[in-house]
Structure 1
């Protein structure tokens, strides 16, 4: 009996692997998260005015190519593998990074269209970043069903975007010192978020290259139990009302 069960189990693995979409493809997450983290870390240092660097123009290559194109290509792999959450996140931030990089390209004249760094420009940039903070909020909520590291990553990223938008609005109002302080805070949260991104890269590579794994703080079981409990309570309440 035990021999039959072992054969059935061993024989079922190739079938399951064949049925799973994109099971034969390599995991694109380490490359995507590496590009995400490297670009965010570079920008965060400028946001904190580290070593006197304030202008982010030098990072256009990272924003448009490493993060923009890199994340977009990786997202297609996640789509084939059937990972909706990863596909959505990577695609969204590929476009965000790429769009943010395009804004800073002098030859396109986007800043000149506002007459330079005017209050209108800073308000427009604030709206751009703030609405991405709204979009990121959905990723933060969805990450609650994944793991603690993802929750912290999207939480720090959310705070970064909010402080960044607030900095632009403060600059539009002429509050230069306040704007600088808010930008520093945004850079600090971006710095932490990038380190969490590198942690995720290490986790992804460990699964493939080394015989051990690092903890991510899986929350899927807790989330499922909570959802199940909430659903049962709602059903009971509806029956009592009926």
Structure 2
């Protein structure tokens, strides 16, 4: 029966995590993996302590974010949370795809040879299309709470500016590319911080304190009632 629930029903469950303490714990794993990976990536995008090469994070991308999110997504599907399943699966696949691009063994960058402009344009296409996907999540999250809304909002801005940085780099405008990359890193860092807040909320709500999420469902209550 759970598999037949719509994404709309999943949004309601995504908004009201809880009820059974054991059923929402897995969400903490997914959000924690997401926050850990995005925060470390954002530090590199902002070039903190001179770090600019992201290859050291490949393990995080494959085994923390991709694997953690995809495994958790199956639990969300099992309890009928279609929206969380879609979100976690999508981000897990994104991280796996991005990790494959920057893994030398896959030979993606090497396939472009010395044509760095084409490579950067292709990376820009990759990220900008994910910006559209995240925009859908942002709109769908509006009837949930402020925390989920802020995560998707900052991630979308981060993806958009990072994509723009790739296009600027392809055009040879390195100054603009660096500025856009750092700006994207700031947005991703903010998304990571909100993700950490949500992780604390999910893992502490049954034992210590329930942090507020800022419920926004009341603004959409009339539409939900009509459905």
Q: TM-score, normalised by structure 2?
A: 0.87
Residue 214 of structure 1: aligned partner: 211
Residue 165 of structure 1: aligned partner: 163
What do the CA deviations read for 1:69-127 (whole angstroms, capped 9, x no partner)? 00000000000010111000000000001110111111111001011461000000000
**C-alpha distance in 1, partners of 2:111/2:76?**
38
| CA-based RMSD | 1.8
Residue 138 of structure 1: aligned partner: 136
Cα pair 1:78 1:86 within 8 Å, conserved: yes
Q: How does 1:1-242 map to 2 (within 5 A)?
A: 25=23, 27-116=25-114, 118-210=116-208, 212-225=209-222, 227=223
**C-alpha distance in 1, partners of 2:28/2:198?**
7
Q: TM-score, normalised by structure 1?
A: 0.82
Unaligned runs of 5+ in 2: 1-19
**C-alpha distance in 2, partners of 1:45/1:186?**
10
Bigger RCO (CA 8 Å, 6+ sep)? 2
**C-alpha distance in 2, partners of 1:216/1:101?**
31
Unaligned runs of 5+ in 1: 1-22, 232-242
SS at match of 1:177: helix
> 1:117 and 1:188, CA in 2 relative to 1: closer, same or farther beyond 3 A?
farther
What is the CA-CA distance between 1:208 and the residue it aligns to?
2.8
> 1:82 and 1:100, CA in 2 relative to 1: closer, same or farther beyond 3 A?
same
**C-alpha distance in 2, partners of 1:84/1:224?**
20
What do the CA deviations read for 1:30-67 (whole angstroms, capped 9, x no partner)? 11000000000000000000000000000000001100
Residue 10 of structure 2: aligned partner: none
Cα pair 1:111 1:117 within 8 Å, conserved: no
**C-alpha distance in 2, partners of 1:53/1:168?**
18
Cα pair 2:24 2:202 within 8 Å, conserved: no
